[in-house]
Amino acid sequence: MVVHTVTGLRETAASSGGRFDDAADRRAANRAVGVSAMGLAATGVVELIIALVTGSVGLLGDALHNLSDVSTSAVVFLGFRISRRSASERYPYGLERAEDLAGLGVALVIWASAVFAGWESVHKLLANHGTSHVGVGIAAASLGIVGNQAVARYKLRVGRRIQSATLISDARHSWLDALSSAGALAGLIAVGLGQPWGDPVAGLAVTLFICHVGYEVSSDIGRRLLDGVDDGLLTISERAAGGVSGVQHAHARARWTGRTLRVEIDAWVDPAMPVAAADTLGRQVADAVHTAVPEARTVTVTARAMTTLL
């Protein structure tokens, strides 16, 4: 069997069927970034002031980590703004990948936070510096936990709804900050119980959490930039396309560009099928794939004539 002609080509965007509202998604993303940035800025400033008063290195690292999220949010916001630009002759698919590049900025901030937190923790552990006003520090760390959890849940909910890997990565970063605050809290409690090493040791534990989340975020963004998709997605797409009457065989490819999952289907059909019929069949295949893969925003179907060579 060989493919010798292209008998039909059809592209169906999910947005045209009402599945996605890109403008609303962008507004939701910008609102999530703005609200979270203000919340983290307020939390970080309070923690920073109290960290300077108490001398807690764990609380200081947590405060600076929260404040770094404000700059991270600015990077994410910039990515969303750039990705809005429409397709052009030079960029025929638009600039949606700007969101993924912004995700790389998030990953870099996470790794930088890991290096800083580890350095400060080791320094205090070796220098054996003390910690004062432990009760106030505990209250500040508790505030950090609550604030970061609220922000993380909000951004994660919005990110999943609009299929934004960058916003989801930023939500994981905020979740990480909640763990960072919890580590600072544990260290301060240990100091309050008479264990001065508790604060720097807690800082080292937080560093390990930061490295773990940094690895996950980097892997997720890297997979998207390298056109990776979830396991089984292509199989599901091929099964859905192959189940449409008139399709003898189907082959699928897919890739992410920002928040857009693009699925391409090669559907082999009877070579005697008219172009008009192939066009109708393309619509049916696109609808079937959209149903099977609801996160797909664009499905391109190419109907190919199949000939058996004897």
Shared domain for 202 and 258, answered yes or no, is no
Kindly state whether residues 215 and 285 are assigned to the same domain.
no
Boundary residue ending a domain (225, 244, 277): 225
CATH number at residue 288: 3.30.70.1350
Residue 111 within any structural domain of the chain: yes
> Average per-residue pLDDT in the chain?
78
With respect to residue 64, please indicate whether it lies within any of the assigned structural domains. yes
Report if residue 272 sits inside a domain: yes
Q: Are strands 296-307 and 2-13 parallel, antiparallel or unpaired?
A: antiparallel
Number of domains in the chain: 2
Q: Which two structure tokens, joined as six digits, stand for 178?
A: 């909640």
Phi, psi for 261 (deg, rounded to 5): -95, 115
Q: Which residue has the tokens 């930039």?
A: 225
CA–CA gap between residue 71 and residue 59 (Å, rounded): 19
CATH number of the domain to which 26 belongs: 1.20.1510.10
Residues 88 and 205 in one domain: yes
What does the chain look like in DSSP terms, one character per residue? Answer: -EEEEEEEEEEEEGGGGTS--HHHHHHHHHHHHHHHHHHHHHHHHHHHHHHHHHT-HHHHHHHHHHHHHHHHHHHHHHHHHHHTSPP-SS-TTTTTTHHHHHHHHHHHHHHHHHHHHHHHHHHHHHHT-----HHHHHHHHHHHHHHHHHHHHHHHHHHHHHT-HHHHHHHHHHHHHHHHHHHHHHHHHHHHTT-TTHHHHHHHHHHHHHHHHHHHHHHHHHHHHTT---TTHHHHHHHHHHTSTT-SEEEEEEEEETTEEEEEEEEEE-TT--HHHHHHHHHHHHHHHHHH-TTEEEEEEEEEEEE---
Residues 67 and 205 in one domain: yes
Whether residue 1 lies inside any domain: the answer is: no
pLDDT tens digits along 235-245: 999 999 988 98
Domain boundary among 225, 253, 268: 225
In a domain, 7, yes or no: no
Q: Is-above-0.75 flag for pTM? A: no
Q: In this predicted model, what pLDDT tens digit does every residue of 236-294 receive, in sequence order?
A: 999 999 889 889 889 999 988 877 888 999 999 888 888 888 888 888 999 999 888 88
Q: Which domain holds residue 117?
A: 21-225
Q: What percent of the chain has pLDDT over 70?
A: 87
d(CA 230, CA 172) in angstroms, rounded, equals 19
Q: Tens digit of pLDDT for each residue in 91-139?
A: 887 787 787 788 788 788 878 878 877 887 787 777 776 677 788 888 8
Please give the Cα distance from 217 to 3 (Å, whole number).
Answer: 41
pLDDT value for 26: 66
The vertex-106 CA angle with 105 and 107, nearest 5°, equals: 90
Percent of the chain at pLDDT > 90 equals 7
Distance CA 207, CA 202 (A): 9
The one-letter amino acid at 299:
V
* Sheet strands side by side (includes 260-269): 2-13, 296-307, 260-269, 249-257
Judgement on whether residues 220 and 251 belong to the same structural domain of the protein: no
